Amino acid sequence: MLQPTVGCDPAGLTLPVKEYPHTDDNCSITGGYVYRGKRRPDLLGAYIYGDYCTGRIWEFRSENGQITSDSLLVTAPSEISSFGVDQDNELYVCGYSTGTIYRFGRNALTEGYNSNGSVPTRFTVEQNYPNPFNPSTSISYSLPLDAEIVLKVYDTLGREVATLVDGNQRAGQHRVIFDALNVSSGAYIYQLRAASFGDQKKMLLVK
């Protein structure tokens, strides 16, 4: 059936608010939910959607049929097969090729996991992978007990670049994705603080 771009009668139709072209490496929309949780108050009322192939995730807002914002939030480490919400309306992302469910945290996608059911015996923070990276990398760390933790990224002058985690987390192994799409190339330091523990490591962003 022919679908001409002009001369169509739109009477009685609700037209799309946004069109998503298949250009560059974008291939397919995976969506999406209007965010109604509490972890990210800055996203309240925004429609969150992603692209299956690239793993890019956007926030979208419109008012009276007009787009008011449409901005990139983060890039997932794999293709995006689906989104989901829990009983508190917090948002999760399903990674297709990794088989991992990522939590849409305060500042980044985070993955909590414990591969063998055991609790780590000490605090550790691992070297990020990949390193060098572009545009995203994962940072893994272990908590031997429930703790308030802060994980931040700084430049070599000590200026804060991003807060990846800031809050209470359960004992176990954890991983957070740092998306540096809007960060300049260079060396950076990520620092983890939890209870009396503190450690930091260097990483290199090459664009």
Split into its structural domains, the chain has a count of 2
**pLDDT above 50 for 1:** no
Q: pTM here?
A: 0.64
CB-based contact 141:174 (threshold 8 Å): yes
Contacts for 181 with CB less than 8 Å, ≥ 6 apart: 72, 75, 135, 136
Residues 84 and 68 in one domain: yes
pLDDT computed for residue 64 by the predictor = 83
pLDDT computed for residue 32 by the predictor = 87
- Taken in order 105, 111, 117, 121, the sign of the CA dihedral is negative
27: left (phi over 0), alpha (psi -120 to 50) or beta: alpha
* Domain end residue (candidates: 80, 105, 130): 105
CA angle 198/201/206 to nearest 5° reads 150
* Domain end residue (candidates: 72, 105, 138): 105
Contacts for 199 with CB less than 8 Å, ≥ 6 apart: 123, 124, 125, 191, 192
Higher pLDDT, 148 or 18: 148
- Residue numbers of the domain that contains 87: 22-105
> What is the band of 144 on the pLDDT scale with cuts at 50, 70, 90?
very high
